[in-house]
Amino acid sequence: MLTHRQQQTLLAIQAYQRDNGGVSPTVRDVAEAIGAAGQMNRTLGLRAGLEERGFIRRHPGRHRAIEVLRPIPIARVFRFNDATKSLKPLP
């Protein structure tokens, strides 16, 4: 089971790869996406937790080389808000 922040991190990675032709995000890209800009160590820890749990695999020696092994569907974590036309995290 993933924590809420790990779910956000995995979704940020998945969304970035989808929007950028399969290219993986930098640590800074992920930090900004999850609202943790300036907290690189925290973001690195979240990414390491995803790797330990088998959700992603990083390829050593290659920058931006993250393979998502167990993607999660966005509907499990967020709900679409029709009024604001945006995603709202589930409680």
Q: What is the pLDDT of residue 86?
A: 60
pLDDT of residue 75: 59
The pLDDT assigned to 80 comes to 60
Q: Number of folded domains in the chain?
A: 1
* Domain boundaries, position 57: 4-89
Written as one letter, the residue type at 74 is I
CA distance 37 to 31: 5
> Model confidence over 23-80: pLDDT tens digits?
999 999 999 998 888 899 999 999 999 999 999 999 988 888 999 999 987 655 566 6
CATH number of the domain bearing residue 30: 1.10.10.10
Q: Are 25 and 11 in contact (CB under 8 A)?
A: no
Please give the radius of gyration of the chain, using alpha carbons only, rounded to the nearest integer: 13
3-state secondary structure 5-49: HHHHHHHHHHHHHHHCCCCCCCHHHHHHHCCCCCCHHHHHHHHHH
